[in-house]
Structure 1
Amino acid sequence: MTDIERVLVIAAHPDDIDFSSAGTIASWTDAGIAVSYCIVTDGDAGGFDPAVPRSEIGGIRQEEQRKAAAAVGVSDIEFLGYPDGRLTVTLELRRDISRSIRRVKPQRVVLPSPERDLRSMYGSHPDHTATGEAALCAVYPDARNPWAHPELAAEGFEAHTVSEVWVTSSNDRADHYVDVTDTFDRKIAALRAHESQTAHMTDLEGMLGQWGGHQAKAAGFESGRLAEGYLVLDTR
C-alpha cells in the first residue's frame, strides 16, 4: 500500500460498500490512505418500514451512509442521485462517474462486479452490475481520455488514469484477500448505522462473521480470521 494515497469506492446503493468492503476500508484509512465514496443512487427504493413516507427514504439513507462512513474513517461522499432500481449503463452515468474519478484522482478504484453471478441473486442486483459496468467504462476509457465527455474538461476536471481496480468478489472469483479481523467491529458499526436496512437483522454479526470466515478460508488464512475478497485488475 506504500504507493497508494487515494482510493475511490463506487457503489450502487448506500450500504453496499459496508457489506462488501467496510473492514478493508477501515484498514486503509488507518494506514493514512484517503478514501472517497461515489454512491450512484440514494437507495430510495429500499427500507422496510411502511410508516416512513417514501419521499423521505433517500435523505434517510444518505444520512445513514454518512454515519457508516464515519465509522471507518471516510468523510468524502458523493451521491449521484440516480433512481434506485432503474439503473442502466448510459453515457450520462459513465460521464458522472468519470467526473468523480477525475475529481478524486485515485490510484485505486473499488467497484462491484459487472457480471451476473447466477449463484448469488443478491450480489447480482441489476443496479450493482450496471454500476460495475459503467464504472469500468469510466476507468477505461472515459476518465483517462481528455476528449471523452468534453463538458468535464470545460468544468475543470482533467483526465486521470486509474492504476488498479479492485472488483468486490465472492470466494470463487477473488484473487486477493484482505484480513479484516481487527477491523470487523467497525464493519459491524458501519452496517448498524444503516438502521433502515439492518435493524431487523437479529444476527447481523453472525452472518457477516460466517461470510468473512468463508473468505478467510478461501484465502488460506489461519482459523478464526476474517477476510474480504477482491479480483484485482491492473488498469495502468
Structure 2
Amino acid sequence: MAEVERVLVVVAHPDDVDFGAAGTVAGWCADGTQVWYCVVTDGEAGGTDLSVGRADMHRLRREEQRQAAAEVGVGGERICWLEYPDGGLELSLDLRRDIARAIRQVRPQILLTQSPNRNWEFLAPSHPDHLVTGEAALRAVYPDARNPFAFPELLSEERLEPWVVPEVWLSGGPIPNRFVDVTENFDAKMRALKAHASQIGSIARVEAEMRQWLGAQAEAAGLPAGRLAEPFQVVSTT
C-alpha cells in the first residue's frame, strides 16, 4: 500500500485499542499518520468496584481513554463515542450506519478493528461486544461506506461522500498474517494501558503478561530474540 495518511480504529470499549494495538498506533503517529478512534461503548459495565456508580464509570472511562490516546499520539478531538450499551451490544443497522458515518468522515486508508472470529485458544479477545464490533465494522467497510445507496441519508442529508477503505486490520483473531514490531513503542503502550487504572489492578502483572505475549508473537513472526510484536489479520477489500 502507498503511504498511509489516515487510520480509523473501531473498538467496542475504552482500553481495547491499547491492549491490542497501542504499539502499532504509536508507530503510525510517530510516522505522521493521522489516527482516529471510534469507541462504540463507554465501558460503563467495566471494573470490579461495586461502590462506583455506572454514570461515574462512564465519565471515568472516557477520561482514561483520552489520557491513554494522548500517550500514543492521538488527540482527544480524534475520539468519536457512539454511546451504545456496554455488554449489550447487538449487530444492528444503526451500528453499521454509525460506523459507516465515521468511515466517510475520516476517509481512512486502513480501518483497524476487532476480529469477528472467536479465538478458542485465547478467549479474552472474543468478548461478545468485540465480536459484534468487528462484524459491524466489516459490514460498514463493505458494502456500506462505499455504497451511495446504503444509508442514503449519509449522502443526501449529511453530505458524506462514499469511501472505499483499501485494508482492514483485525486484532485478536485466530489467524494473524501481519506482525508489527512494537519494541521501540512498548513503553508508550504500557503508559497507555496504565491510564486505564479503573480496569487494571497490577500494572506490573499486565506488563509481564504483555511482554510474554508480544514476545511470543515476535518469535512466531521470525523476529530476533528480545523483540515484541502485535499481531493482526490484514484483509484487502479491493
Instruction: Name the TM tier (shorter chain).
Output: over 0.9
Amino acid at match of 1:124: S
Number of the residue aligned with 1:47: 47
Structure 2: distance between partners of 1:7 and 1:116: 24
Structure 1: distance between partners of 2:169 and 2:112: 5
Contact 2:64–2:196 (CA under 8 A) maintained in structure 1: yes
Contact 2:7–2:109 (CA under 8 A) maintained in structure 1: yes
Number of the residue aligned with 2:181: 179
Structure 2: distance between partners of 1:55 and 1:169: 29
Contact 1:29–1:74 (CA under 8 A) maintained in structure 2: yes
Number of the residue aligned with 1:136: 138
Q: Secondary structure at the match of 2:176?
A: coil
Query: What is the CA distance between 1:2 and its match in structure 2?
Result: 4.7
Structure 1: distance between partners of 2:189 and 2:2: 23
Q: Secondary structure at the match of 2:126?
A: coil
Number of the residue aligned with 1:5: 5
Q: Secondary structure at the match of 1:37?
A: strand
Query: What is the CA distance between 1:160 and its match in structure 2?
Result: 0.5
Query: What is the CA distance between 1:131 and its match in structure 2?
Result: 0.3
Q: Secondary structure at the match of 1:89?
A: coil
Number of the residue aligned with 1:122: 124
Contact 2:169–2:232 (CA under 8 A) maintained in structure 1: yes
Structure 2: distance between partners of 1:83 and 1:169: 21
Structure 2: distance between partners of 1:89 and 1:101: 17
Number of the residue aligned with 1:94: 96
Structure 2: distance between partners of 1:58 and 1:93: 19
Number of the residue aligned with 2:218: 216
Number of the residue aligned with 1:28: 28
Deviations 1:64-99 (A, max 9, x none): 000000000001100100000011110000000000
Structure 2: distance between partners of 1:143 and 1:33: 21
Q: Which shifted more, 108-117 or 179-188? A: 108-117
Q: Which shifted more, 194-203 or 153-162? A: 194-203
Contact 2:181–2:230 (CA under 8 A) maintained in structure 1: yes
Query: What is the CA distance between 1:118 and its match in structure 2?
Result: 2.1
Q: Secondary structure at the match of 2:143?
A: helix
Q: Secondary structure at the match of 1:197?
A: coil
Structure 1: distance between partners of 2:206 and 2:172: 20
Q: Secondary structure at the match of 1:198?
A: coil
Amino acid at match of 1:69: A
Number of the residue aligned with 1:14: 14
Could you list the structure 1 runs, at least 4 aligned residues long, displaced by more than 4 angstroms after superposition: none
Structure 2: distance between partners of 1:183 and 1:2: 23
CA-atom RMSD, angstroms? 1.2
Contact 1:179–1:225 (CA under 8 A) maintained in structure 2: yes
Amino acid at match of 2:146: R
Amino acid at match of 1:78: C
Gaps of 5+ in 2: none
Amino acid at match of 1:173: I
Structure 2: distance between partners of 1:162 and 1:187: 26
Gaps of 5+ in 1: none
Structure 2: distance between partners of 1:55 and 1:37: 22
Structure 1: distance between partners of 2:2 and 2:67: 28
Query: What is the CA distance between 1:169 and its match in structure 2?
Result: 3.6
Amino acid at match of 1:16: D
Amino acid at match of 1:20: G
1:163 aligns with 2:166: yes
Contact 1:192–1:199 (CA under 8 A) maintained in structure 2: no
Q: TM-score, normalised by structure 1?
A: 0.97
